[in-house]
Amino acid sequence: MDSPRTLAGLGALLLAAALVSNPASAEPVEPVPGAHSTRDFGNGPERNEIAATTAEASAEAARAAPLGATPDSRWTPPRRGYPRRTELRVYPENPADKSIKLGLVPYHGIAPRLNALQAASDRVSAEVIGHSALGRDLYLVTVTAPESAAEAARQDRWRALIEDDPGAARRDKALVRGYKTPVWINANIHGDEWEGTDGALRVIERLAGATDPATRRLLERTRLYVTVTNNPDGRIAGTRANGAGFDINRDQATNSQPESRATRDVVIATQPFVMLDEHGYTGTTLIEPATPPHGQNYEYDLYIKHALPNAEGMEAAIQRLGHPETARADIPFRDFEPGDWDDWPPVFNPMYAIYQGAVGHTVEIPLAVNHGEYETLPVAELRRRAGVNTDVAAATIEAAIGYADEHRADLLADQIEQFRRGWAGAPSPEIPDGFVPGFGPEDRFSTRFPRAYVIPAGAAQRSPAAAARLVDHLVAGDVRVTRARHDFALAGRSYRAGSYVVDMHQPKRGLANALLEAGRDISALVPQMYDISGWSNRLLWGASVDVSATAAPRVATVAVTAASPTGAVAAARGRDLSLTMRDGADVRAVNALLDLGVELRRTDAATVVVPAGARREAEVVADRYGVRFTAAPRGSAGTAFTAPVIAAAVSADELFALREMGFDVRPVSTALLNAGAELSDADTLVVSSGLSYAQLNAVGKAEVDELLARGGVVTRGRTGAAFNAAAGLLPATAVTGRTDANGVVAVRNTGPVVGAGSLPYAFVFSPIWFTGTGFTVEQRYAAADPLIAGHWLPATPGAGGPEQAADQAAVISGVTARGGRAVMFGTEPLFRAHPKGLYAEFARALYWTAS
């Protein structure tokens, strides 16, 4: 019989599942000041120097959600005409909103303003498309001439036809004549870059109230879509990051945050010809297109032919403002050196939009009003600057609308052509020098698309849960995935029925390939990169994915709207159960069982045994997290363990990932420990950001020493290596690579803890390796050049490069001089919540050090 405690815990888990499925019901909460933010240029040293102080509320939301899932449903536009008047809920006035000081619209002022516009004008519609990390409404405003439900439905059919059958769309004279030009403006994605919101509101109000014939005709042939503030948490708090501490404009390849999922859904639903992402502040206005390297999966000829003249038109618009600060713009493609401001990774919103059929631009308004300027400049000067910035944002938006209207026919034809090439599997054309002014060999990036990817089912799949997560992510991004109805063979391999196929003859093949390809080592092509240079959902998300270069499978398939369930308890009743921790979903299931009071045992670092009496709880978590329990070998012994309490001095993304896996995490830092924070209930300490042993006072040092004497420690990065050296833990010397070196690397798994069942790949940013003796090498960089994709140059000639890292220890473990256990990572297994296939190795380190 189930004990009352077990039943209560099971009920709590089921209740938590119900709450997670409806996050919109949560009341918005105020963010805790001091959310972690990073500098605009990359994410290197600051990542190791700044402690995360993320709001507990947002982190708890991550802890409650199933790992890798999309907890809020995908937004799709309602099937009705325009206007679509929605009475937006009005938030209480918040005098602490940081935008007030600048004379800008506070977040609580946006809904009343939009409600008034909807009441006054039949051209304005406002909808809620999702919620921020802290639960605030995200708004989409559509400005267009009124449409009946039938007219709106026809626009929807035409939009679908452009993607689904571009040949028919090209031949449809009514579509060519009557399809409304879609333009999308995304504002305030970085919370402390405010004025894009205010400039967009100015444009909305002008279009809503203008009575001239030109505006009326413009709106009869155009739809303007505006996400008014993509980051209300950051707008209020005056932080770049959202309420979970994430830079949303680095999240589009992962979509870990609700704000990035909302913009993903908007770009898919609206299929814009042109989009702007309004940012700040660069001294002069900066308007993309960007420098090389250019994303090799773009149809770059279709992009740059519009992006450059559109940017120059926006430059002319800001010049007409007459401000001394707007006499010119920086257009990186035209004005910067390669690598200074590239468009290589799909993590940025405009770059992601390019793969969805848009001509995407980042716009950086000029005059800084954040950081030190916000605190030190007189209010009058801040408001003057904010006024100039608002003028610039409005001018660039107006110019982009004008360009899209003037070049409507060409933009439509080119979006059709992008999707046609995808369906046809056509090679991207060779772009000649001078195609646009300044285009040369340094701008020429392309790839050879494979014919198909296959995500196997059955025994060939390393992690069914990881495979399902990857499939759902692809489908949510409008990548077309099918499921095989029968067994089949392809490229010399046999596949089970139920295997997933990504046929690369599809309209958004560029996005599919950008997410699934291994990537490319671009170290020799440019001297530096703006942000990450390597990523791969195929190599880093934990699923087995095969590539077929030339052949597509000949098998009947069905379209996939969601991955098939993967959870199961495959053992006879009365048998103990076994779960192998290969994926973060497995870890989440283990922590859920521990939270329910189930007595678990570990037979090795990766294998957990569940007693037969807890089968019901195992069935619940198997269904919830998609994991598979099998029969444990009879007589399995193992070591009992409990849910560890983690004291963590970590970056915001690591805190999010740890809680996403279900760990009980207590944030700490040098300042908190020096102020008397206790570690008495912690089992292990994680150090990667914001904790310096050398800077601890007597109180803080005593607390840390006590934990190190009885518990464990896991470190990551330079801060972690410095902590190890200062505290005298493992006899390892950390060797550092160049701080901006990053990418996907090949590794060899050699140790019993972290290496057990880990992927043969890892991710690095500011890579580290370890020399010395007296520890176990858990993972080594590959013996040959370890860099698979990314940018990693030597720090100095012959030092700090991938050649020097080859065959060196990337992750080590051992018993410390104080008697506890330690694991040190030179890689980045939790970076921005992206390399989800590496989560389990970090979790195994936590369990081992805490035991």
Matching residue, tokens 């992690």? 463
Nearest by Cα to 158 from 140, 137, 176, 134: 176
Beta-strand ranges (E) seen in 282-427 are 285-287, 291-294, 329-330, 342-343, 359-365
218: DSSP letter: H
Say how far apart CA 285 and CA 295 lie, in whole Å.
23
Strand partners, 809: 770, 780
pLDDT higher than 90, residue 78: no
The pair of structure tokens assigned to 539 is 């190599």
Q: Which helix (H) or strand (E) holds 763?
A: strand 761-765
> Average pLDDT, stretch 666-673?
98
Query: Helices 408-424 and 300-319: crossing angle, nearest 10°?
Result: 150
Structure token pair of residue 105: 């619209």
Q: How does residue 67 score in pLDDT terms, banded at 50, 70 and 90?
A: very low
CB neighbours of residue 272 within 10 Å: 26
Which phi and psi (to 5°) does residue 230 adopt? Answer: -80, -10
**Distance from C-alpha of 232 to C-alpha of 130, rounded to nearest angstrom:** 12
- How does pLDDT run across 314-331, given as a tens digit for each residue? 999 999 999 999 999 999
For 285, phi then psi, to 5°, come to -65, 130
For residue 77, the model assigns a pLDDT of 79
Q: Tell me what pLDDT residue 76 has.
A: 80
Cα–Cα dist 124/118, whole Å: 5
Supply φ then ψ for residue 167, to 5 degrees.
-65, -45
Q: Which two three-digit tokens encode residue 536?
A: 């791969």
Burial of 18 (0-12, 13-18, 19+ CB in 10 A): exposed
Residue 489 has pLDDT above 80, yes or no: yes
Distance, CA of 67 to CA of 57 (rounded, Å): 17
Query: Looking at beta carbons, which pairs linking 349-352 to residues 24 or more positions away fall under 8 Å?
Result: 349/186, 349/189, 349/248, 349/249, 349/252, 349/260, 349/263, 349/275, 349/277, 350/275, 350/276, 350/277, 350/288, 351/252, 351/295, 352/252, 352/253, 352/264, 352/267, 352/511
Q: Across residues 806-814, what is the average pLDDT?
A: 98
pLDDT at residue 776 tops 60: yes
pLDDT at 759 over 80: yes
Q: Which of 1, 17, 2, 4 is nearest to 592 (CA)?
A: 17
Could you tell me how far CA 11 lies from the centroid of its own chain? 32
Strand partners, 640: 601
Give me the chain's average pLDDT, please. 92
HEC profile for 420-464? HHHHHCCCCCCCCCCCCCCCCHHHCCCCCCCCEEEECCHHHCCCH
What is the reported pLDDT for 627?
A: 98
**Residue 46 — pLDDT band, cuts 50, 70, 90?**
very low
Phi then psi for residue 109, to 5 deg, are: -90, -10
Residue 270 has a pLDDT of: 98
Measured distance CA(427)–CA(297) in Å, rounded: 11
Q: Is the pLDDT of residue 53 over 80?
A: no
Tokens 């401001």 locate to 341
pLDDT in tens, 179-236: 999 999 999 999 999 999 999 999 999 999 999 999 999 999 999 999 999 999 999 9
* Parts of the chain belonging to CATH 3.40.50.880: 645-850
Tell me if the domain spanning 645-850 has CATH number 3.40.50.880: yes
Question: What pLDDT was estimated at residue 73?
Answer: 62
Q: Are strands 600-602 and 274-280 parallel, antiparallel or unpaired?
A: unpaired
Cα separation, 46 vs 651, whole angstroms: 10
Distance of CA 209 to the CA centre of its chain: 38
Alpha-carbon torsion (724, 726, 731, 732), positive or negative? positive
Collect all residues with Cβ–Cβ distance below 8 Å to 332 and sequence separation of at least 6.
Answer: 286, 288, 289, 290, 291, 340, 341
Look up residue 101 and give its DSSP letter.
G
pLDDT digits (tens, 9 = 90+) for 422-433: 999 999 899 999
H-run or E-run covering 588:
helix 584-595
Give pLDDT, residue 50: 30
DSSP string, 468-535: HHHHHHHHHTT---EEESS-EEETTEEE-TT-EEEES-STTHHHHHHHHS---B-TTT-S--SS----
**Nearest residue to 186 via CA among 199, 176, 177, 175:** 199
Q: Quick one: what percent of the chain has pLDDT higher than 90?
A: 90
Element of type H or E holding 720: helix 717-727
Residues of the chain with CATH 3.40.630.10: 103-424
- pLDDT band (50, 70, 90) for residue 2: very low
341 vs 292: CA distance, rounded Å? 8
Fold of domain 103-424: Aminopeptidase (3.40.630)
Q: How many CB atoms lie within 10 A of CB 765?
A: 25
Choice among 299, 364, 617, 660 that is catalytic: 364
* Residues 530 and 550 sit within 8 Å (Cβ to Cβ): no
In whole angstroms, what is the distance from residue 654 CA to residue 830 CA?
6
Residue 29 confidence class, pLDDT cut points 50, 70, 90: very low
Output the pLDDT for position 248.
Answer: 97
* Residues linked to residue 781 through DSSP beta bridges, in sequence order: 747
Residue 506 structure tokens: 């599809």
SS3 category, 685: strand
Q: How many CB atoms sit inside 10 A of residue 345's CB?
A: 23
In angstroms, how far is CA 565 from the centroid of its own chain?
24
Q: How confident is the model at residue 75 (pLDDT cuts 50, 70, 90)?
A: confident
Contacts of 787 (CB under 8 A, 6+ apart): 521, 523, 534, 743, 744, 745, 802
pLDDT single digits (tens) 641-659: 999 999 999 999 999 999 9
Dist. CA 265–CA 260, nearest whole Å: 9
CA distance 650 to 379: 35
**645 DSSP 8-state letter:** E
Average pLDDT over residues 572-579: 97
For the segment 106-135, the average pLDDT, to the nearest whole number, is 98
Residue 823 tokens, joined: 């694991």
Catalytic residue check, 364: yes
Give, in order, the Cα–Cα distances in Å from 370 to each of 94, 280, 747, 838.
19, 9, 41, 36
pLDDT digits (tens, 9 = 90+) for 582-633: 999 999 999 999 999 999 999 999 999 999 999 999 999 999 999 999 999 9
Q: How sure is the predictor about 33, in pLDDT bands with cuts at 50, 70 and 90?
A: very low
What pLDDT sits at residue 227?
98
The pLDDT of residue 24? 28
- Lookup result for tokens 């008697």: 819
Q: Name the DSSP class of 82.
A: B
